[in-house]
Structure 1
Amino acid sequence: MPTVSPTSAAVAATSSKRFHWLLAALLLQFAASPFLDGTPAVILQDILFLGILLAALGVARRSRLHQFNCLLAGLCAAAVVAKYGTGLSHMDVVGNLLGAAVILLTAVEVSGYLSRQRRVDLDTVLGGLCVYLFIGVMWYLLYALVGQLDPRAFDYTVHGHDLPEPERLRLLFFFSYVSLLTTGYGDIVPMSAVARTLAVVEGITGQFYMVFFMARLVGLHVAEKMPSSR
């Protein structure tokens, strides 16, 4: 019988819980965001986002898109650094555009990786949940991009007008997940045609993903746990 070294066993245990750690990092960012305020909070959020993005890129390294996605991620990181180093406002637009592209390709990479797994365990299901959270992040970046190009694209109603950028971005982050969950509190209203279309497409994407992809993963996971009937 072949023996397994302690080092190999430790590596296998860590790799089998790769999505546990990625999901924990995403949830930690969500939990910390309400307590962060001002420009330092925006910088810290950008650093956390880049760190989580790098962690996600390491999950599906065998994808054909991986090298191209890594290149885009490097350009996105460079745009974020240039935004703070040069103070140029258009670098924000470039960073959001590249960030949305990287998140999209990362979600495609991870989804492809998950769909190829023959054994569906808890970590695989959590990986599907990570993709769901990435969808919300991608649409948040798209909303931020639309808001930068058209300041009247969103009406913040009860939150007031002429909001500082950190507060506006925080509200758009909230709006993205509210739209993904199809909750719709109505305190943030998309006004432009592009913003309304993005909100509708996000709601449809979230429902489609949960009904078909996540339901399939959970169903396979439950089926594996059930004893086979003879």
Structure 2
Amino acid sequence: MLPILLMPFTARYGWQGHVLLALVFNLLIVQSIRTLPVMPGVPYARLRQEFFRGIGLVGSIGLWAPVASGEWPGGSFHAGEMVLLSLFFLITSTRLVRVLARVPRVNGQVLAGAAAGYLHLGLTGGVLATATQVLVPGSFSLGETAGQQLLLDRLTYFSFVTVAGVGYGDVLPANAVGERFVILLSVASTLYMALLVGLLLGRFIASEEVEMLEDEELGPPRAPENSP
């Protein structure tokens, strides 16, 4: 939640805002790399882990470019950095789902992982929408307050509104590229929620059945026999 809550402040303080944004996203990247383990039984697991770490490392370094120059250097660099971060967060969400699929029982950590995957999906949509807007200007109509907000902050808000299916209408797709982006994001969020709810519900039912079987096998406690 930290990047979502702090992004409005990064739009107001210029160079200090760029530093805050880079620190917060670097923290998120480092935490994602530390938390997600190497998946056993997956082909080229170590290679995939190194690729995952490499994307996160390059993306975290790229976030410091506007800190050094005072602004994002060139549209292509800005778009490339957003695409790289989108790929990292997308892989993070996918790996979270794979981790959740292997847990035997539903507990607090599993629910926290599910919530983290949902937040990563919203952040990925916002970062990828920013890359789309930079590569294809005019893909989104940003509304009257667009000049007062960081582009990433505005489109992250749009991403979570789309994922939640709320649709306030203050930020809208403005051409075919933006419309296709909304379709893909809506389908991805619907599939994530459907798969996640089915997965957690199945694990919860299985856990309850195991506990019931264990209780039946143990049976009621026996009363102590009186000695002669």
TM-score, length-scaled by structure 2: 0.78
Instruction: State the shift of 1:36 in Å.
Output: 4.7
1:30 aligns with 2:4: yes
Distance 1:29 1:82, change over 3 A: closer
1:192 aligns with 2:175: yes
Instruction: State the shift of 1:107 in Å.
Output: 1.5
Instruction: State the shift of 1:222 in Å.
Output: 5.9
Larger Rg computed on CA atoms: 2
CA distance in 2, matches of 1:29, 1:125: 20
Report the equivalent of 1:221.
204
Report the equivalent of 1:149.
135
Count of aligned residue pairs for this structure pair: 201
Instruction: State the shift of 1:145 in Å.
Output: 0.5
CA distance in 2, matches of 1:220, 1:154: 40
Q: What amino acid sits opposite 1:125 in the alignment?
A: L
Report the equivalent of 2:34.
58
CA distance in 2, matches of 1:102, 1:29: 15
Q: Percent identity?
A: 19
1:183 aligns with 2:166: yes
Alpha-carbon displacement from aligned partner over 1:50-75 (angstroms, at most 9, x marks no partner): 21111011122213221111011111
Instruction: State the shift of 1:33 in Å.
Output: 3.6
Preserved contact between residue 83 and residue 91 of structure 1 (Cα < 8 Å): no
Q: What amino acid sits opposite 1:93 in the alignment?
A: A
CA distance in 2, matches of 1:98, 1:126: 25
RMSD (Å), alpha carbons: 2.3
Deviant stretches of 4+, over 6 Å? none
CA distance in 2, matches of 1:137, 1:216: 22
CA distance in 1, matches of 2:56, 2:116: 18
Mapping of 1:48-127 within 5 angstroms? Answer: 48-63=24-39, 64=45, 65-86=48-69, 88-89=73-74, 90-127=76-113
Preserved contact between residue 83 and residue 92 of structure 1 (Cα < 8 Å): no
CA distance in 2, matches of 1:31, 1:120: 28
Listed as ranges, the gaps of 5+ residues in structure 1 are 1-26
Preserved contact between residue 79 and residue 94 of structure 1 (Cα < 8 Å): no
Preserved contact between residue 133 and residue 140 of structure 2 (Cα < 8 Å): yes
Out of 128-137 and 60-69, give the one that drifted further.
Answer: 60-69
